[in-house]
Homo-oligomer: A and B are copies of this chain.
Amino acid sequence: MLVHTDYLWFKTQKRQEFVRITDEIAEVVNKSGVKEGTVLVSAMHITSGVIVNDWEDGLIHDFQTWLEKLAPAGQDYRHHQTGEDNADAHLKRTIMGHQVVLPITNGTLDLGPWEQVFYAEFDGRRKKRVIVKVMGI
């Protein structure tokens, strides 16, 4: 059994930003030597997420508008009494999910035709990390 660990770093320019990472994950899987197994891709910070969806500009805009409606910024959140201003980012990342497990078959990511992996930042402009853990044979 092989286990291989890598980390991706992000520092987005905007507070909220989605970044496509499918190719970076594929590269880690390739490096791992795993032919059959899975790879865990998980945000290590609690105001960002990792998701699988369609990498289409319009849809990404829809996601961001929709999240703003379900979990709006600038409200009177209790969390802000600690000096923070990002409670909405915690809520947004919870709706989106903070991790995915991707299957590896015949040495490559076994994804459907439109599946793309993306990092979803909700409180950016600072360094954040995603762990990529490959397990298999």
Contact = CB atoms under 8 A, between A and B. Distances in A.
Interface of A: 1, 3, 5, 36-38, 40, 42-46, 51-54, 56-59, 61-63, 65-66, 70-71, 77-82, 87, 90-91, 94-103, 105, 110-115, 129, 131, 133, 135-137
Contact of A77 (B58, B80, B81, B112): B58
This chain: copies in complex: 3
A78 B90 contact: no
A5 B105 CA distance: 8
13 contacts: A1-B137, A3-B37, A40-B101, A54-B79, A54-B90, A56-B82, A58-B77, A58-B78, A58-B82, A62-B77, A94-B96, A99-B100, A135-B135
